Amino acid sequence: MGTPQPSRQPTLDEVAALAGVSRSAASRVINNAPHVSRAKREAVERAIAELGYVPNPTARALATSQVGSVVFAMPNDDPAAFGDPFFAQVVRGVSAELAKTDLELMLVAAPSPHGRDRLRRLVRARRADGVMLMALSGDDPLAHLPEETGIPVVFGGRPLHVQPRWYVDVDNRASARLAVEHLLRTGHRRIATITGPLDTDVATARHHGFRDAMAEAGLPADRVAAGDFTETGGAAAMTRLLDAFPDLDAVFAANDDMAAGALRVLRAHGRDVPGDVGVIGFDDLPAALHTDPQLTTIHQPIEALGREMARMLVALLAGERPCPIILPARLVERDSVRARPLTG
């Protein structure tokens, strides 16, 4: 006879499954955290008794001091920014995931020194258990919030000069390369790009993707104008590009808003899209369906970005150590790019 094997300890996931609740709700019951309904608490307690579950003491110690709320913050002092289609989709994803838990969500705009100090005070006063941060520029001091406070922080995207421990992002470089490769594959050669602010990782990565594709094709990547992720900024950048490179035959804009601005300027200058100039954007926001012509773009799963940020933060609050996540993106072909005869 072989040596008897020790019985396997039941897991938190098994407790949650038997109780019919989310993993985070089960964790909050086990750690006696606030804001848990009586029905969930009783279901989890029954499952614990039935399975003989023994909580992890380290995770329990982490969770017992929780207050039951988390923060979603972004560096923009305009409250209307939360209604921006991109951020609205992120917040919708965050809210949908947190609805599976008993955590309260606080929205905070924290771009100015005063706003950042307010966020720090909120965290240091232990009025929130964790933070989700979006869209940081390279020198934003909030990038160092995890080290300053010791609180769990999940980044949406990555700061330019800091490698965060926990983040959810899209492979912006590879996705931008995919966009430019589509322009090349459809016969475009004199391709320009409108970048976002190059003090952000997202804009820098998309610019690098443009350069990667052009280098692979043996073509110059010097038709570049900086934008600011707004339609107005895209229009101004497109005007500069036409002045400097009147022979351009395609434009990759680093987001859909700038692509819409580029379309407006091209039309005003008598350039047909897609006949004279192909235009491709990034994001696949609803507005991409309402441009004239409809915009070929890179679809990134924006709402899923918010869901995964919230899911990662909930896992951290439950004592887990999740891995960073890179979400896939894909090309969506519409009418603003058309195949053209190959030229030298």
pLDDT bucket at 35, cuts 50 / 70 / 90:
low
Other beta carbons less than 10 A from residue 99's beta carbon:
12
Model pLDDT, residue 144: 81
Model pLDDT, residue 238: 98
Nearest residue to 284 via CA among 319, 248, 259: 259
Please determine, looking at this structure, whether the domain spanning 69-170+304-328 carries the CATH number 3.40.50.10540: no
Mean pLDDT of the chain, nearest integer = 87
What homologous superfamily does CATH list for 172-301?
Response regulator (3.40.50.2300)
d(CA 276, CA 299): 24
Which residue would you say has higher pLDDT here, 67 or 278?
278
Same fold, 69-170+304-328 and 172-301: yes
Distance, CA of 132 to chain centre? 10
- 279-292 average pLDDT score: 95
Which residue would you say has higher pLDDT here, 121 or 92?
92
- 199-211 average pLDDT score: 96
Model pLDDT, residue 79: 58
- 148-157 average pLDDT score: 89
Q: Domain limits of the chain?
A: 12-63, 69-170+304-328, 172-301
pLDDT bucket at 1, cuts 50 / 70 / 90:
very low
Question: Which class does domain 12-63 fall in?
Answer: mainly alpha
Single-letter amino acid, residue 41? R
